[in-house]
Structure 1
Amino acid sequence: MTTFRHLSWMMIAALGLVVSAAPGFAQQQNDPGDQPGLVADDSYQLDPEWQKQVVYYRTTEPPGTIIISTAERHLYLVQPGGRAVRYGIGVGRDGFQWQGLLNITRKAEWPDWTPPPEMIARQPYLPRFMAGGPGNPLGARAMYLGTTVYRIHGTNQPWTIGTKISSGCFRLVNADVTDLYDRVPVGTKVIVRQKPEL
């Protein structure tokens, strides 16, 4: 009887390992995606690499231009004198990265969120609409890029800064996106590069 019971527990344990190793299960457990309703932990401490800082930055672009380097996972706001304010960002996961030249066409504080149909198809658990607020995945501020569905926005998941996680948007911690929002007007030129400028 003891041997049978022991064998039964071994089979259950083995089955558990097989289920947890199945691709769908693992993806569901490890893919944080957007988490509506999660309230950001504002005391979360970013790694120094992703903290806002003024850096030397060579570019021919005029002050006030935003340059996003998805490879570096940094957003640069060009300043006079060969400098830039550098922010750590979260970028699009593999297959969702892009590059281009756009302008900020709209700005919003504590923006509402309406996930596009393509996102809902990938993540059916998402709400069809969510009012702005601390639990909204767009965070404290959003800057809309051209006529695309992409934005520079805050996040309720500060630990995702420095990672490839989004569906193509660029996320900053709420304090940083608020700082950037206050520095740039509608019309600001935004350059998105997948490789650093030489």
Structure 2
Amino acid sequence: MTRVFAFIVAAAAVLAATGGASAESFDFRDIMGGGPNFRMSGGSSPIPRTTVSYAGNYAPGTIIVNTAERRLYLVLPGGQALRYGIGVGRDGFRWGGVHRISAKKEWPSWTPPSQMLRRRPDLPRHMNGGIDNPLGARAMYLGSTLYRIHGSNEPETIGQAVSSGCFRMTNDDVTDLYSRVRVGTTVIVKN
């Protein structure tokens, strides 16, 4: 991550020196927080995103989370799906059900729920969105639950069961998924 930050600082200095932007007006999100083509992995996913054949009677656009496989599928037309690697809830924190995406946020802030703070009193009470935030670059909130599909500043946890019930993706993958779905999208979690 230090190399990424050093690159951004150097890019800002070059832009300012060449008249492309002033140091005061330079916004790191010009490089870091763009739209659907945003790229900032902090490390590559151990499970590459790929298009696969997918049998099932789900409407295109439906998200299927398979916690046993540690994969998330975005159903596409024609019996296909985009398959993403995800991190899932550790033992005692896995769940299942059907929800809808109730909100989408770019660079979300994070306030750990009281249950998590009881387990981990060392956690901050609030973190603004950004590179170091555990929710990563994008978050999609699942109904009225405390759970989200979100990015991660720990890409090495993809494919692992380490969360408190949320579904983690690399920042590259969550940004890709975020650009493809809307509020109201059905999310089916199979446990």
Per the normalisation by structure 1, the TM-score is 0.75
1:84-163 to 2 correspondences below 5 Å = 84-163=81-160
Verify: 1:191 aligned to 2:191, yes or no: no
Rounded to whole Å, the distance in 2 between the matches of 1:154 and 1:78 is 20
SS in 1 for 2:83: strand
1:53, distance to aligned residue in structure 2 (A)? 0.3
1:54-93 to 2 correspondences below 5 Å = 54-93=51-90
**1:170: which partner in 2?**
167
SS in 1 for 2:118: helix
Q: Is the 8 A contact 2:44 2:170 kept in 1?
A: no
SS in 2 for 1:76: strand
**2:43: which partner in 1?**
44
1:141, distance to aligned residue in structure 2 (A)? 0.1
Amino acid at match of 1:158: P
- Cα RMSD, aligned residues only: 1.0
Rounded to whole Å, the distance in 1 between the matches of 2:115 and 2:139 is 20
SS in 2 for 1:168: coil
% identical equivalent positions? 61
1:44, distance to aligned residue in structure 2 (A)? 2.2
Specify the structure having the higher radius of gyration (Cα).
Answer: 1
Rounded to whole Å, the distance in 2 between the matches of 1:103 and 1:46 is 26
Rounded to whole Å, the distance in 2 between the matches of 1:129 and 1:181 is 23
Give the 4+ runs in structure 1 shifted more than 3 A: none
Amino acid at match of 2:41: D
Give the gaps of 5 or more residues in structure 1.
1-40
1:46, distance to aligned residue in structure 2 (A)? 2.9
- When residues 139 and 43 of structure 1 are mapped into structure 2, their CA distance, relative to the original with a 3 A threshold, is closer
SS in 2 for 1:60: coil
Number of aligned positions between the proteins: 152
Give the gaps of 5 or more residues in structure 2.
1-39
1:3-14 to 2 correspondences below 5 Å = none
Rounded to whole Å, the distance in 2 between the matches of 1:157 and 1:45 is 10
Per the normalisation by structure 2, the TM-score is 0.78
Q: Is the 8 A contact 2:42 2:153 kept in 1?
A: no
- When residues 43 and 140 of structure 1 are mapped into structure 2, their CA distance, relative to the original with a 3 A threshold, is closer
1:43, distance to aligned residue in structure 2 (A)? 5.3
- 1:96-119, Cα deviation, whole Å (9 max, x unpaired): 000000000000000000000000
